[in-house]
Structure 1
């Protein structure tokens, strides 16, 4: 915990010195396993990109996943994404995606590989402009429990990941990089919480941009199958 606070202080000082600001990234996720093989996932996000205390972006999304094996989970999803500028609606996005998650454990360390392909349709109401985009993402997510051999109720864990984004037909093709580090706590069988620091680099033709987020999330896991096997707990990173 002292290390986590020290890192947060270091990043805050670095950001102030660089004349950049802290943004907010808040999420609520629900993972509902209604069948031994199938699960539903839903997520709501609220971000303050320009001002920490004023939300200027939100998204609502969800989808259906399939437990092909214990460590292999393909998923299909869709969502609505809205951005505000100067307190008025700037851009709307509708997105569908296919993803595949393959994870494995080495000792107590869990490695998650997530591959995703997204198709987006945009509309800007002020200019009545419409556009489309394809985007491809890869994330390596590493989780380590700190006071147990696996994540279960009462477990404190640390979580780090790196994610890269590639787009088409926009330029540059390598559009974004995200790096996250934080702590989580699995409260009980249904509720978990995570928090940490997220650095996001936007690569644009007009010039690159850094965003610095304080990430906070509440994760709800519901197992409706009454399965007596060892449970796994869903605690996604910033998405």
Structure 2
């Protein structure tokens, strides 16, 4: 445990030195497997964009997943997303999405491919403006345990991913790129923690923007299927 926090702290300090701002990205996730094929997923997030100490964004979301095979997990989700600006509500979003996750292992390294299609409805209370958006995302997520052959109680693991975002009808179509790197620790069969650095590049017609997040998360896994072998999910920054 001490090794995990030492590595995570050093990792974040090295990557964030020299940045013009540091943002916060905090999450709690719950994965509940109630059937050998079906699972529920829920997540809450709180972020401070360009100001670590002031949260100006939150989201609450969840959905139902299906284990089509051991390595293939379609999912349907719904969420509420709220932005604040200058301590005032600026935009609300309702989002519905479909996704497909296909993963495979090469030795102890796990490669996860995630495809997602999202439909969003926006409302801006100050201007009473409503709008809609379609967005498409692809993420390659790679994780590797560092002190064991698989993730189990007491395992420290490294996690990196790259995700690209495409939108319609807004311009530019290629709207965002996220790159993440960090470490995780599986405390016991239920709880795991993660810490890392996330770089986010926003591509906008008015000019591009970079965000530098310190990511902290608590992941909770509950498996009520009475399987002798537990599986541990660590969704990563989303």
Number of paired residues?
Answer: 234
Q: Partners of 1:201 and 1:210 in 2: how far apart?
A: 5
Q: Partners of 2:62 and 2:12 in 1: how far apart?
A: 31
Q: Which structure 2 residues correspond to residues 78-157 of structure 1 after superposition, within 5 A?
A: 78-157=78-157
Task: Name the residue aligned to 1:161.
Answer: 161
Q: Partners of 2:223 and 2:55 in 1: how far apart?
A: 32
Q: CA RMSD in A?
A: 1.1
Q: Which runs of 4+ in 1 moved over 3 A?
A: 1-7
TM-score (norm 2): 0.96
Displacement of 1:51 after TM fit? 1.4
Task: Name the residue aligned to 2:235.
Answer: 236
**3-state DSSP of counterpart to 1:233:** coil
1:10 is matched with which residue: 8, 14, 18? 14
Structure 1, unmatched stretches of 5+, are none
Q: Partners of 2:232 and 2:23 in 1: how far apart?
A: 27
Q: Partners of 2:118 and 2:149 in 1: how far apart?
A: 35
**3-state DSSP of counterpart to 1:8:** helix
Structure 2, unmatched stretches of 5+, are none
**3-state DSSP of counterpart to 1:35:** coil
1:122–1:208 distance in 2 versus 1, CA, 3 Å = same
Q: Partners of 1:218 and 1:112 in 2: how far apart?
A: 20
Displacement of 1:151 after TM fit? 0.4
**3-state DSSP of counterpart to 2:18:** helix
Task: Name the residue aligned to 1:206.
Answer: 206
Q: Partners of 2:16 and 2:102 in 1: how far apart?
A: 34
